[in-house]
Amino acid sequence: AQKVTQAQTEISVVEKEDVTLDCVYETRDTTYYLFWYKQPPSGELVFLIRRNSFDEQNEISGRYSWNFQKSTSSFNFTITASQVVDSAVYFCALSAYGGSQGNLIFGKGTKLSVKP
């Protein structure tokens, strides 16, 4: 069965601190996609990144970076120099590669609070 675990329910940091959100997944598929979404207080989910299972290269986008390690089934997300606008709930998700790849399995989310 597929499963995504985000062990950190809530994290609180002070502005400019670095913060890492953990994501561990389980799947029997050899190829799959991993995602991170941001849900601000307005409620709409915002896509942040997609990673293919056959591409373990880490990615950096501005203050955001992602560390994908297939050996530990983890896809962690780091925000460098956090800002108040980063306060949101962040979801990690997994999908199959192929016909049903639109079907996402979500973790329970990590609520990040960045205080000024």
Contact residues toward another protein (CB under 8 A) are 4, 6, 9, 33, 35, 37, 42-47, 50, 91, 95, 101-104, 106-109
Min dist CB 9 to another protein, Å, is 7
| 8 A C-beta contact, residue 39 and residue 88 | yes
Question: Whose Cβ is closer to another protein: residue 24's or residue 80's?
Answer: 24
Q: Which is nearer to another protein, 6 or 76 (CB)?
A: 6
Residue 93, both tokens? 């998700």
Q: Which is nearer to another protein, 37 or 68 (CB)?
A: 37
Q: How far is the CB of 81 from another protein (least distance, A)?
A: 26
The minimum distance between CB 57 and another protein, in angstroms, equals 17
Which residue, 30 or 44, is less far from another protein as judged by CB?
44
Distance (Å, whole) CA 51 – CA 59 = 9
Question: Could you count the other beta carbons within 10 Å of the beta carbon of residue 52?
Answer: 13
